[in-house]
Structure 1
Amino acid sequence: MIRFALRIPEDLHARLTTQAAADRRSINSEILHLLDVALASASPDAGSPGGDPATPAQLRGKPDTSPA
């Protein structure tokens, strides 16, 4: 396992502490859980053509043809 130092704002730390206590996890375990859930829900093709998250999604619907 890799050790990783992370600086976070105090308010975020407080929220993590509260959530970890509610879930009966350590703060480290809560952060790992939240990252795992977030990364699992970010499917490779969610809104991005070709599955590249750095590529913006194409606009949908009719193009705006009104005069400027």
Structure 2
Amino acid sequence: MIDPSIDFSAAATALMHEQVLVAQTTSDAAAAFAAAKHRVDAQTALHAAHTRMETELINSLRQLTLQLKP
């Protein structure tokens, strides 16, 4: 038998409120993860570009050295 003292409307409202909080927390966590991933991806790309530029500089210097040798 259903207990008449239970306020189902309040229980439903509390459950919906809890679901909204869970959704908000999940959304905040997803946004933080996306920002961190973007930062890491940008750092990785910068490091790769720096490494490529160093390699190109070294290769250019080697070519110039070979051209300057008698």
Compute the TM-score of the two structures, normalised by the length of structure 1: 0.29
Compute the TM-score of the two structures, normalised by the length of structure 2: 0.29
Q: Which has the higher helix share?
A: 2
> Larger radius of gyration, structure 1 or 2?
2
Highest RCO, 1 vs 2 (Cα 8 Å, sep ≥ 6): 1
